[in-house]
Amino acid sequence: MNLDMFVRRLLAVRPALLIITALLALAGIALPAAAQYPCPSPGPNDQVVGEVDLGGGLGKGLMCVPRNNGPAAPPAAPRIVNQYASIAGHPDVDDVWMEGNFDGPRGAQEKALAACQRAMGSGCVSFGEWANSTTAIARDWNGFLYGGWGVNGGAAKAAALANCGREQPLPCEIVGTYGAGKQRATPDLAKARKLYGAAAWVEDKRAPKTASVRAWIATGHPTLAAATGAAVAACERANPGLTCAYWGVTGNGVIQTYTDRGVPNGLPERNAKRAAEAARKLCAKEGGACILQKAYDTRRPGLAVHDFAAAKAQ
């Protein structure tokens, strides 16, 4: 038998073997991990496993299986994992409650609000819910908190700062940055629970000169309303029949007094260092020169009468 006939016989045998293998598999008969087939000239994808008598006087031939039991199975499609998170806050707390790493919407928001309400009783608000991204929280000079969202921490901080303190001389401060995969964050209420301060002075054209250079500063109050109410009430008690207005309100910060070209003024800030910088920046913007006076810590309970004319420079 010539070589051409030998090859044709092999080509006839291999399809038949493959058909038999398929029929056995359909019948539920266990098969080897990979079907064997004749391979007279093994290629790079053939692995020789033995010999077989080809019959018909052809003698013996090589038997092969696919290398590595055939081509590798295609990789499984990646599982998309969504991570949801939410933040809740309270106006009288200088921090937030955060719940994250949830695999579906709404759960994180409900849990964050519940955690805030357990601690504060009522008055909690949600900063919203987000997924697979980051939210940052910024604080302005009055102690109010603002949120900003971004695809990462840097973008979230930029958004929070853009939303916060557009009218104040210094950029807001970042309280925290929270990726959706973070599980939980809880304020330390011993530090984060706000104590407010506010200043008031006479805003009335009928006021005598001595009243126009004084401010009544109330500090150490648990709510913004209590601080502003105490400052205005003290001012009006000292100036019967005249109208007083409050200014410089903040929580867990300072009220900085100063004069600009002799004119009484003041502002709130996070601490004395930032307050001094903010006052100088405002004075420079107006072309004046600041003389810094006392900075009142809102966390220290008290009621002071600040005389801008008599106060010493700080």
State pLDDT tens for residues 31-69: 344 567 777 777 777 778 888 776 666 677 787 777 765
Do 207 and 297 reside in the same domain of the chain?
Answer: yes
**76 found inside a domain:** no
What share of the chain in percent tops pLDDT 90?
63
**238 found inside a domain:** yes
- Phi first, then psi: give them for residue 9, nearest 5 degrees: -65, -40
The pLDDT tens digits for 79-103 are 667 899 999 999 999 999 999 999 9
* Res. 21: pLDDT tops 60: no
**111 found inside a domain:** yes
**77 found inside a domain:** no
d(CA 33, CA 28): 14
Would you state the pLDDT for residue 32? 43
pLDDT classification of 288: cutoffs 50, 70, 90: confident
Q: Rounded mean pLDDT of 134-160? A: 96
**48 found inside a domain:** yes
* Res. 156: pLDDT tops 90: yes
pLDDT classification of 77: cutoffs 50, 70, 90: low
Task: Give the least confident one: 38-42, 70-74, 176-180, 290-294.
Answer: 70-74
**313 found inside a domain:** no
Do 208 and 168 reside in the same domain of the chain?
Answer: no
Do 183 and 200 reside in the same domain of the chain?
Answer: no
Last residue of some domain: 192, 210, 231?
192
pLDDT classification of 14: cutoffs 50, 70, 90: very low
**78 found inside a domain:** no
Do 92 and 152 reside in the same domain of the chain?
Answer: yes
Distances (CA, A) of 145 to 89, 96, 237: 8, 9, 33
Do 212 and 288 reside in the same domain of the chain?
Answer: yes
Q: What is the mean pLDDT of the chain?
A: 84
Would you state the pLDDT for residue 185? 95
Distances (CA, A) of 314 to 128, 162, 182, 259, 275: 43, 32, 44, 11, 12
Q: How many domains does the chain have?
A: 3
* Res. 127: pLDDT tops 90: yes
Q: What angle do CA 178, 135, 254 make, to 5 degrees?
A: 85
Q: Rounded mean pLDDT of 15-24? A: 39
Would you state the pLDDT for residue 76? 64
Q: Rounded mean pLDDT of 164-192? A: 94
Would you state the pLDDT for residue 2? 46
Do 249 and 296 reside in the same domain of the chain?
Answer: yes
The pLDDT tens digits for 194-209 are 999 999 999 877 766 6
Last residue of some domain: 138, 164, 192?
192
Do 173 and 155 reside in the same domain of the chain?
Answer: yes
Distances (CA, A) of 216 to 240, 252, 258: 14, 18, 14
Do 302 and 217 reside in the same domain of the chain?
Answer: yes
Would you state the pLDDT for residue 69? 55
Do 33 and 53 reside in the same domain of the chain?
Answer: yes
Do 144 and 166 reside in the same domain of the chain?
Answer: yes
* Res. 143: pLDDT tops 70: yes
Would you state the pLDDT for residue 196? 98
* Res. 303: pLDDT tops 80: yes
Tokens describing residue 265: 């003024």
Last residue of some domain: 192, 212, 245?
192
Would you state the pLDDT for residue 55? 67
Query: Which has more confidence, 65 or 232?
Result: 232
Note down the domain range covering 247.
Answer: 196-307
Would you give the end-to-end CA distance of the chain in angstroms? 115
Do 206 and 187 reside in the same domain of the chain?
Answer: no
Q: Please, are residues 133 and 150 in contact by the beta-carbon 8 Å criterion?
A: yes
Do 15 and 103 reside in the same domain of the chain?
Answer: no
**43 found inside a domain:** yes
